[in-house]
A and B are shown apart, each in its own frame.
Chain A
């Protein structure tokens, strides 16, 4: 299993861009990188997933360098409602990986 390392917490202000980096030095060839968001008293929610280069959707972008040993979740122009815990997961596609484990996540606090 690829181990991930993220900052424990980050602070930002409304309207700023936030970048959260996840380190996964032992990522394997068939591993995908997935980010989840969790609000207090709720289950995690999928944000974005990627394999290499850049992926963008309506809420975030995911940047993955060529060596894939890290990834960066980018949240453009955050608002107070983006205050949450963000988890980075690395897991192999298909039935070879049935054991999806979460790390401690990054607690993002957006201030007015």
Chain B
């Protein structure tokens, strides 16, 4: 199993550009989520999904869209990039939602918005 994969590893955008961060898992996990991590800080939850066709907002959803058309994929879209979105983005998955389920994290995407 590849686990959780993310592409790209690095990305530089100009203000106003849009892009999609890809996330995929091959563990047949129901729950997937996106976090952002700013320098020296913890992770903040952006959006999450408890299954295909179901998504919801986390604590910092503004400026981001998600969709979950398949169990495997959970892309994160930046609609109009801003410098404040410069961060490292992590995708995670777990067998199911809930605090009793281990989350598996991808390697991250380092995004810089100029």
Contacts and interface: CB of A to CB of B under 8 A. Distances in A.
A102 B43 contact: yes
24 contacts: A34-B102, A41-B108, A42-B108, A43-B4, A43-B92, A43-B106, A44-B90, A49-B100, A51-B100, A89-B99, A90-B99, A92-B98, A93-B98, A93-B100, A94-B98, A97-B99, A98-B31, A98-B98, A99-B56, A99-B59, A100-B33, A100-B103, A102-B35, A103-B42
Interface string A83-108: 00101011111111111111111000
Nearest to B30: A95
Given A41-B108, A101-B59, A104-B42, 7 more contacts: A32-B99, A32-B100, A36-B103, A43-B90, A45-B105, A96-B98, A98-B56
Interface in A10-45: 31-32, 34, 36, 41-45
Interface residues of B, number: 28
Contact of A98 (B44, B48, B92, B102): B48
A99 B56 CA distance: 9
A52 to B, nearest CB: 13
Interface of B: 4, 31, 33, 35, 41-45, 48, 50, 56, 58-59, 90, 92, 96-100, 102-108
A29 B98 CA distance: 14
Given A95-B50, A99-B58, A46 B102 contact: yes
